[in-house]
Amino acid sequence: VDIDWEFPASKTQGENFYQIIKGLRAALDDKATALGQNYKYLLTAALPAGPANYAFLDLAKINQRLDMFN
What is the pLDDT at residue 6? 84
User: Which of the four pLDDT bands, split at 50, 70 and 90, describes residue 7?
Assistant: confident
13-55 pLDDT, tens digit per residue, is 999 999 999 999 999 999 999 999 888 999 999 998 888 888 9
DSSP letters, 9-65, are -SHHHHHHHHHHHHHHHHHHHHHHHHTT-SS----EEE---SHHHHTT--HHHHHHH
What is the pLDDT at residue 39? 85
Number of domains present in the structure of the chain: 1
What is the pLDDT at residue 50? 87
pLDDT at residue 1 greater than cutoff 90:
yes
Its domain, for residue 58, covers 2-69
Q: Which residues are catalytic?
A: 6
Q: Nearest 5 degrees, angle CA 5-CA 8-CA 12?
A: 120
